[in-house]
Amino acid sequence: MTTTIVKSLSVCAITTWPPYRDGIALYSAKLYERMADFAHIEIIANKVGARTPNDYGQNNIAIHRRWSRGNVFSLLQVLHQVVKSRAHILHVHYGWLLYGFSSTLLIPFLLLAIRFTGKPVVLTMHTVIQRNAKLYNNGFLNKVADSVIFALTVLLTRFPQEVIVHNHLVKKGLEESYGCKSEKIVIIPHGVVRADSTNHSGKNACREQMILSLGFLREDKKLESLLQAFSRFSLENPIARLFLAGGRHPHDNDKYVKKIRNLISSLGLGDKVQWMNFVPDEELDEYLGESEFIVLLSTKDYFLETSGALARVADFGKPVICSRVPKFQAELKDTYNCLMVTPGNVDELTMAMRVLAKSDKLKEQLGSNLKRHSMAKYWPEVVKMHLNLYSSLLRFK
């Protein structure tokens, strides 16, 4: 792909940013830290403490900590920073409740105000909620929520010049459920981390049956089913070990993490399950390289999105067991580059683990097909796609 780079290009992005740890913050860091080789980057980021300092010298990136989740008045500070910015392109990242409930309702109006600066505006929709989603155990609340989400999504997609989504399923959802024009939607995949073959052996080489699950420990993943399935699996495979690489999502409290810890203890898996919390990328690479297979779970069948955890592991050539939900169905094909199971179904998950453990041929097939599928999505290619989009908007401004 040819990259068109605007001379002295400057990009201003509104997003979450590390050390805050959510999927969009991690995504944004990987995207803009690479993009900084081609453009000056300004990040209008969330505050992550009482006094979070600005950072004005990080690899051609200026970070302005201007907004707090749920603080509607901080959006005025965002707008003020946008007006001050000399960026050529304004890029807003959106995820469901990323900015807090009350602030989320005002994001469309922030986009409208930004349009008055005369600069091109790009919106990345990291999450789209399907119509008639059952978010609550109350029919009336679901109808109210559906109406609010419909109006919000229509407004969100109306004001930017271009809307980026990560896969065809999200694009289809915006077109069919929210009336967004097809020509306004651009598919740019979630970036895939390139595997480093030199770190595929190391401290875990002696663990012949290492199973890895990574990502946030959230209740909607039903990780109880993984622990129950592994408990059965480990009876037949005594050398198996389960590693949980991840921790609490910043939007959650500690209740679910404590529940998982208690379940590990009650199932008698204390010596077979290791919860590592979040680990540095280099260490995670080692665990990925030594894993026999990887398990990625979810139950959110009403969210149209892409899995950041899948993008993190896809290039390592390891077989993946995943839930049969849109975020995986949009990217993968059952029995070709993954094994899919019904969300929360312990029997199916146990069987999938048994099947993989017994077939080296199947593991090799699934892993190599997944790696082949990821090769066009490496982060440098994703950066080029963004730069080309920015350039086209500035060319026709």
Specify the 3-state DSSP secondary structure of 127. strand
pLDDT at 59: 77
- What total number of domains does the chain contain? 2
Tell me how far apart the alpha carbons of residues 337 and 88 are, in angstroms, rounded to a whole number: 40
Which letter, b or e, does each residue of 37-70 get, where b requires 16 or more Cβ atoms within 10 Å of its Cβ? ebbbbbbbbbbbeeebeeeeeeeebbbbbbbbbe
pLDDT at 351: 98
Domain membership flag for residue 325 = yes
Considering the domain architecture, whether residues 169 and 235 belong to the same structural domain is answered as no
Considering the domain architecture, whether residues 328 and 225 belong to the same structural domain is answered as yes
pLDDT at 50: 55
Considering the domain architecture, whether residues 142 and 172 belong to the same structural domain is answered as yes
Domain membership flag for residue 165 = yes
Domain membership flag for residue 5 = no
Tell me how far apart the alpha carbons of residues 27 and 50 are, in angstroms, rounded to a whole number: 24
**Residue 19, phi then psi, degrees to nearest 5:** -80, 0
pLDDT at 397: 60
Considering the domain architecture, whether residues 77 and 110 belong to the same structural domain is answered as yes
| Residue in 297, 308, 302 with CA at minimum distance from that of residue 338 | 297
Q: Which helix H or strand E contains 185, and what residues bound it? A: strand 185-187
Considering the domain architecture, whether residues 159 and 209 belong to the same structural domain is answered as no
Considering the domain architecture, whether residues 179 and 47 belong to the same structural domain is answered as yes
Sign of the CA dihedral with 185 first, then 190, 191, and 192 last: negative
Tell me how far apart the alpha carbons of residues 144 and 194 are, in angstroms, rounded to a whole number: 43
Domain range spanning residue 212?
A: 197-376
pLDDT at 58: 66
Domain membership flag for residue 226 = yes
Q: What CATH number should be reported for the domain holding residue 147?
A: 3.40.50.2000
Residues of the chain with pLDDT under 50: 1-2, 4-6, 201-207
Specify the 3-state DSSP secondary structure of 278. coil
Assigned token pair, 43: 């990040």
Q: What is the pTM of this model?
A: 0.92
Domain membership flag for residue 70 = yes
Considering the domain architecture, whether residues 124 and 232 belong to the same structural domain is answered as no
pLDDT at 205: 47
Considering the domain architecture, whether residues 283 and 386 belong to the same structural domain is answered as no
pLDDT at 197: 61
Considering the domain architecture, whether residues 245 and 173 belong to the same structural domain is answered as no
Considering the domain architecture, whether residues 248 and 156 belong to the same structural domain is answered as no
Domain membership flag for residue 2 = no
